[in-house]
Structure 1
Amino acid sequence: MEVLDEFDIKIIKKLEKDGRMAFSAIATSLKISNTMVHQRINRLLEQGIITGIKPIINEKKIGYDWGAFTGITLTKDHDSQRIIEALKEIPEITECYFITGSFTLYIKMIAKDHEHMRKLLYEKIDTIPGIAKTDSIIELGCAFKRNVTL
């Protein structure tokens, strides 16, 4: 397990508020050198603690009004990696998890409308060899989404 010190945590918190914040501005606000900020952010990226600094897209603002969580049952669980690779080819699938319980995989997907959602489920996902069944729950809006508090 990687250990974060107070400067790592402060740097991450600054980036959470504004991922576009200049390293020099972070350094000035924390009263540390620009080089130190640069080195720490690079280390956090290399260690996989920070997985990237990228925009968060509001899917509804670009026409994706429907969201669903779908449990996927496989005919053979050992086929999961091949099926995951096929799911990665569907851009509307934004997340995929291994889970315990009734399903092998759980995905989050977005669609423009109910017809788009139907096509995703029946024409793209259900046609992947090795998928036995899907069970979807329609999402009505995100109450909140956040990182763990440091």
Structure 2
Amino acid sequence: MDVLLDEFDINIIKELEKDGRMAYSAIATALKISNTMVHQRINRLIDQGIIIGIKPIINEKKIGFDWASFTGITLNKDQDSNRIIAELKNIPEITECYYVTGSFTLYIKIVAQDHEHMRKILYEKIDNIPGISKTDSIIELGCAFKRNVSL
């Protein structure tokens, strides 16, 4: 179902992108609309699944996770993907997991403290999950940018 966003929705989202902790009253003041309207709009955007959460974005490097990889996973049987995804969710260093087409079934992002930590995640945790046939990793050297889609 396509959801149409009007100018008020878009402007509220843009304000939240600047600072997700911004008070509804501050958004209302900036947009010259009522606090009630902001509150109702944000609740509706959350209920519709357009806004899926307002949470901090952690800079992993600042807390000691200096290594990251993008890792493609090949499964023995694609039908096992739900079970394997459930096991991947139990590895806290895996921060993202995607279904993909092509050579892999899944594509994940892993963060690690150093190369030895990365090796342990790959060889002692991921490779020991039954049903995983192969992994192929690309080491991340830094994020040039990351953003939401433009509204």
TM normalised by structure 2 equals: 0.99
Runs of 4 or more consecutive aligned structure 1 residues displaced over 6 Å after TM superposition:
none
Report what 1:121 is aligned to. Answer: 122
**1:6-41 C-alpha deviation (Å, 9 max, x unpaired):** 000000000000111100010111111101100100
Cα shift readout 1:67-118 (whole Å, capped 9, x = no counterpart): 0000000000000000000000000000000000000000001000000000
Paired residues, number: 150
Other structure's SS at 1:123 match? helix
The two structures, once aligned, show a CA RMSD in angstroms of: 0.4
* Structure 2 residue matching 1:82: 3-state secondary structure: helix
Mind listing any 5+ residue stretches in structure 1 that lack a counterpart?
Answer: none
Structure-1-length-normalised TM-score: 0.99
**Unaligned segments of structure 2, at least 5 residues:** none
Q: Identity across aligned pairs (percent)?
A: 81
Alignment-mate amino acid for residue 89 of structure 1: N
> What letter is aligned with 1:129?
P
Answering whether residue 132 of structure 2 is matched by residue 131 of structure 1, we say yes
1:25-44 matches, within 5 Å, as: 25-44=26-45
